[in-house]
């Protein structure tokens, strides 16, 4: 797309991003995520639709990282207004919205990807890298295959296979109890008791969540003997790998 909302190939050919997110901590996390991906640069952060309009009036961007639930209106209402004003920046919706009707409407307005909260850095990185690959496609397609390959750059791969011996339902159970524990976190023994599995099994799944950037591990002191490890869910931690 082109238009006044598009920065084009300036600024060292970096893809300029506006983060639109009402939660200040989440906005900062998303901005840090973007800055960690080579070829992308944050041009601004807005916490409301009105602030997003003000930023776009003075700063050209290529891509909006757009939360759909803003304090002064729905993100798609903002997007409709921007399109009517001639802004052509692409959009990655970053949201907890799971209504597929909203997803369809977003696609019609130029939403190229949807990323559901909570997510790890690797998820957003994958979407940004795919978007960057899509932007490099130029010239005239020689046939349907080339068109399909160009569009395939935007499509995320299927769910990554779990390590051998792990199951989706058990992982979901561990995630559920870990998220329910909040900032206090859980030890492997506590997680196992809550999820109805052994401590050893729980520890394996917890370590998998640490490795994939969805949880953090830290020592717990205060007990006799070796300190235990505590695990805490990280829904939006900018330090997640």
DSSP at 191: H
pLDDT band at 225 (very low <50, low <70, confident <90, very high): low
pLDDT in tens, 64-118: 999 999 999 999 999 999 999 998 899 999 887 677 778 888 888 888 888 888 7
* Interatomic CA distance for residues 2 and 6, integer angstroms: 6
Mean pLDDT confidence for 229-234: 89
What is the dihedral sign for C-alpha 38, 36, 147, 138? negative
239 or 215: which leads in pLDDT: 215
What is the dihedral sign for C-alpha 131, 137, 140, 141? negative
Extract the tokens encoding 81. 């207004």
pLDDT in tens, 196-210: 999 999 999 999 888
Out of 11-25, 135-149, 176-190, 227-241, the most confident range is 176-190
pLDDT band at 19 (very low <50, low <70, confident <90, very high): very high
What is the Cα Rg of the chain in Å?
21
Extract the tokens encoding 167. 């199951």
| 199: Cα separation from own chain's centroid | 31
Residue 172: its pLDDT value, please? 87
Q: Which of 204, 206, 214 lies closest to 239 in space, CA to CA? A: 214
Q: Has residue 9 got a pLDDT over 70?
A: no
22 or 165: which leads in pLDDT: 22
Q: Which of 236, 238, 235, 240 lies closest to 213 in space, CA to CA? A: 240
Residue 139: its pLDDT value, please? 58
* pTM for this model (two decimals): 0.61
Extract the tokens encoding 24. 């200040």
How many CB atoms are closer than 10 A to CB 164?
5
pLDDT in tens, 114-166: 888 877 788 888 888 888 888 776 556 666 776 666 666 666 555 556 778 88
pLDDT in tens, 28-67: 999 999 999 989 999 999 999 999 999 999 999 999 999 9
Helix (H) or strand (E) run with residue 176 in it = helix 168-181
Residue 161: its pLDDT value, please? 60
* Interatomic CA distance for residues 37 and 39, integer angstroms: 6
């Amino acid at each position: 797309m082109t238009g006044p909302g598009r920065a084009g190939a300036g600024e060292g050919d970096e893809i300029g991003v506006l983060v639109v997110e009402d939660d200040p901590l989440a906005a900062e996390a998303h901005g840090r995520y973007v800055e960690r991906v080579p070829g992308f640069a944050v041009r601004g952060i807005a916490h409301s639709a009105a602030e997003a309009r003000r930023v776009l009036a003075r700063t050209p961007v290529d891509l909006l990282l757009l939360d759909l639930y803003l304090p002064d209106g729905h993100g798609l209402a903002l997007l409709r207004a921007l399109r009517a004003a001639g802004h052509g920046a692409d959009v990655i919706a970053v949201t907890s919205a799971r209504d597929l009707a909203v997803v369809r409407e977003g696609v019609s307005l130029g939403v190229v990807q949807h990323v559901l909260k909570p997510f790890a850095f690797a998820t957003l990185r994958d979407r940004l890298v795919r978007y960057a690959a899509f932007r490099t496609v130029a010239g005239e397609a020689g046939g349907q295959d080339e068109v399909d390959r160009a569009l395939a750059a935007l499509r995320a791969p299927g769910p990554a296979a779990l390590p051998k011996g792990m199951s989706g339902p058990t992982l979901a159970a561990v995630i559920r109890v870990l998220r329910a524990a909040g900032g206090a976190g859980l030890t492997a023994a506590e997680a196992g008791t809550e999820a109805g599995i052994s401590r050893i099994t729980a520890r394996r799944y917890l370590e998998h969540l640490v490795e994939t950037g969805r949880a953090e591990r830290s020592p717990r002191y205060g007990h006799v003997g070796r300190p235990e490890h505590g695990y805490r869910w990280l829904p939006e931690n900018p330090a997640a790998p």
